[in-house]
Structure formats: C-alpha cells, structure tokens
A and B are shown apart, each in its own frame.
Chain A
Amino acid sequence: MRRTFVILALLTLGLLSYALYEGLVAAPTEQTMGEVQRIFYYHVPSAVTAFTLFLINFAASIIYLARRSPTADALAVSTAEVGVVFCTVVLVTGPLWARPVWGIWWTWDARLTSTLLLWLIYISYLILRRYSTSGQTPVIAAVLAVFGFLDVPFVYVANRLFRTQHPQPVYFGGPGSGADPRMTHALLMNMAAFFCFAALVVWLRFRLERARQDFDETEALEALLQPDARSPR
C-alpha cells in the first residue's frame, strides 16, 4: 500500500510538472484570446475531475445503502469533499478566464450555472453530514447524494434551454474544434495529471476517514467496557 502510494505520488508530480510545461509553454497560443486561453488547461480538467468524483460518490452512496459498508461511506465522503475542492477551482478559474476575454466576471450561461449548482448541491451534502446529530448520518447522507446526483441531468437540461434563450458569449473560438494537436495533447496531459492528483488526495482523505471510523468505534467500546464508577457491589 505504502509503496503504491509513493509511486502514485511521484507519477503525479511528474505528470503535473510536465502538463504545466505543456500548458504554459509548449502548446501554441490561441489566436483570438491570446495567452489567457491557457487557463483552459486547468479549468477543463478540473471540471471533468470534479464530475467524475461526484459520479464515484453516487456509486459509493448506492453501495452504502445496499450494503452498509463503512468503506463505501468513507469513499463517499472523500469523493464529495475532493469533488467540491475541484469544483471550487472550476468556479474560480472560470471568472478569471471570463474577465479578460469577455469583459465580465460572471455570466449565467448554461455551463457555469450548472457547475455552480453542482457545487451548491455537494456543499449542502457536506453540511448535512456535519450538522446531523443522528446516529445514522451516513445513511441520510447517502440518500441525499442519490437525490443530488439524479438532479444533475435536470440541472444541465434546464440551464441549457433557459440560457440559450438569452444572448450569451460564445464559449471559446478555437481549441478542440479541429484544432492544433499540441493543444489536445496539453489538455490530455493535464487531464491525466489532475486525475492522478485527485486519486492521491481522495486516498489520503479516505484513509483519514477509515482511521476516524475505527477510532470512534474503539472509543465507544472503551467507554462501554469501562468499569462503572458506581460498581455493583
């Protein structure tokens, strides 16, 4: 386990560095937007990673509801938290890209709004987990996760129609649309790098959660086995 982790960490570090170089230097500059377009190489992989993490959260929640395995629950909370982190990155890099390109910080276009809603849904999941006083928090959280994820297609569809009725800025003029292969390469490298990075962080969070689960159980058992202060005579 330990060795796999170190290998993954080194691989991630390598990929991230290489991908950074690719994105910032090697990939050609985009015609219409200029250098700022390079934010794309961080923005899009983060979005894809966040979505994948939420998908895993959905699967883990369902498995938890079926099997009640603590491993599934640990995976669920880990992917939700790390997913929210990546989603935050998307929501921060988005406006930073939009401002120089379109002149506005935010636009209620379909994609950004959907991402914001995704973020809100999973934040509400994390808040529920923190504020729940029930002994069965993982069950309730898992149920909410199911609702949340099932909502995602609705969010996307609803926003697509709603926002296309209003004039909106064109998303991007060039990269990906039959574009330069070096751009695609940079994008794919960054995708791979961030996927590995996400796996690493989820692993760390997962281990923490499992340790916390074991500890809480041990603590509870200790408390139960304590000799009673008012010992039976």
Chain B
Amino acid sequence: MSLGEITRVSLAKDLRLEWRSKDAINSMLFFALLVVVIFSFSFDPTAEESRHIAGGIVWVAFLFAAVVALNQTWARELRNQVLDAYRVSPAPANALFISKAVGNFIFVAVLEALMAPLFMVFYNLRSIGPAYELVVVAVLATWALVANGTFFAAMSIRTRSREVMLPLILFPISIPALLAMVSATTAILTGEGAYRFWLVLLVVYDVVFTTVCLLLFETVLHAE
C-alpha cells in the first residue's frame, strides 16, 4: 500500500470512530464554550472594544479546545499497542502522522465552524474586512496548531503527566503562530493592521514546521 492509501485508510478509521463516539468533539465544544463564558467575566464585551479583543479570545478558546483533541490523539494507539505494530510494519511513518494530523484538523475545524456563529452572537461581531479572509486565517492557523500539536503529542507519550507535558512543550513554540493568527483575525475584524504580513508569517510557519514534522516523525516514532 502506498503512502496515500495508508493515510486515507487510517484517516477514515479515525473519523469513523470519532463519528460513532463523538468523544473529542463533545468535550472540545463544551470546553471552548466554557472558556468564552469565563473570558466574558474578565472583559466587558461592549460592541466597539470587543472587536479588538475578540480575535485573542477566539483563538485562546480554540487553542485550549484543540489541546483536548490533541491529548487523545495517540491514546487509542497506545492502549492497543498499535505503535509497536506500526514500527515493525513496512508502512511509511509519515502516513500515520499525516492521517492523525488531518484527523485532528478536521475535528478542530468542525469545532471552529460550530463556535464561529456563537462568537458572532456573544460579541456582536461584524467583520469590517472581507469575511472569506477569516476562513483563510482559520485554515492556516488551525493547521499550525494541529500539525505541531500532533507531533508533540507523539513526543510526550512516554512522559510523566502526559496531559500537562503536551501544552507545556507546545505553547512556547506555537506563540509566534498564535501571535500571527490573533493579529490577523483582529486586523480583519477591525479593518486596521498589517493583515498581509501576518498571513505570510503563518504560511511560512506552516511550511517550515510541517516540513520539520515530516522529516522527524519517523525518528520520534522509533524512539518510543
């Protein structure tokens, strides 16, 4: 089987399992909602100011929710010794990585699609810039979080307090991407700011780190 086929099969399996149990999606959704409500106590979301801070709050909520999804990425594989089996099989390691990353991407994207209208309502948002740009930013940003996140989740499998270790190593490295996604979103919502620059930064970030992930995943898989 080729890389493409393995990826597709693995991805289909993950999506099917998730569709049946809806584990990840439910906990992510609830968590994101909680974050939004709690943040609403810290800032008073009146119409004008909310436009400036909404970008930050949205991405913090999605970040924490994504971590929920990322933490359970490899849990099933770990429980059933799938990783050992994979290691001795001739299948290319990257197929596993890509399928997991794309799976996580889909989960988080679904979350974002569900939460976006909610945000619009809670913060009375009306984007000043073109709305399709928000989708572009969301795609790039989500991939940045999910690609690194899936990779780091694999790295933190054999550590004490695994669930804490993942955000601990993921967040510092993701900060430039977070800065970019928040700034880009704010730039679109408020119509001011260097949207183009942040977009380019996100693209470069995605390209660089996806490449590094693909280059090093096999090493990490064998290092368990």
Contacts and interface: CB of A to CB of B under 8 A. Distances in A.
Direct A–B touching in the complex (beta carbon < 8 Å)?
Answer: yes
Interface of A: 65, 117, 120-121, 124-125, 127-128, 131-134, 136, 139-140, 143-144, 146-148, 150-151, 154-155, 157-159, 161-162, 165
A145 B224 CA distance: 17
Given A133-B158, A133-B159, A146-B212, A124 B168 contact: yes
Nearest to B220: A143
A127 B170 CA distance: 12
Interface string B128-172: 000000000000000000001000100111111100010011011
Most B CB within 10 A of own CB, among A117, A148, A158, A162 = A158
Given A143-B220, A147-B209, A117 B172 contact: yes
A133 B160 contact: yes
A160 to B, nearest CB: 10
Contact of B208 (A134, A140, A144, A150): A150
Q: How large is the interface on B (under 10, 10 to 19, 20 to 34, 35 or more residues)?
A: 35 or more
A131 B175 contact: no
B44 to A, nearest CB: 22
20 contacts: A65-B219, A117-B172, A120-B172, A124-B168, A127-B168, A128-B155, A128-B159, A132-B158, A132-B159, A133-B158, A134-B159, A139-B220, A143-B216, A146-B212, A147-B148, A151-B172, A151-B176, A154-B204, A161-B198, A165-B194
Nearest to A118: B172
Contact of A157 (B148, B171, B176, B224): B176
B172 A136 contact: no
Q: Is the interface of A mostly helix, strand, loop or mixed?
A: helix
B161 A131 contact: yes
B205 A154 contact: yes
Interface of B: 148, 152, 155-161, 165, 168-169, 171-173, 175-177, 179-180, 183, 193-194, 197-198, 201, 204-205, 208-209, 212, 216, 219-220, 223-224
Given A128-B165, A140-B155, A144-B169, A134 B223 contact: yes
A27 B181 CA distance: 45
Contacts of B201: 154, 157-158
A36 B180 CA distance: 36
A154 B212 CA distance: 15
B172 A121 contact: yes
B183 A144 contact: no
What 5 A-B pairs are tightest by C-beta distance, nearest first?
A: A134-B158, A154-B176, A136-B223, A120-B172, A139-B223
Contact of B219 (A120, A134, A139, A148): A139
A133 B212 CA distance: 24
Nearest to A136: B223
Nearest to B175: A117
Nearest to A119: B172
A165 B176 CA distance: 16
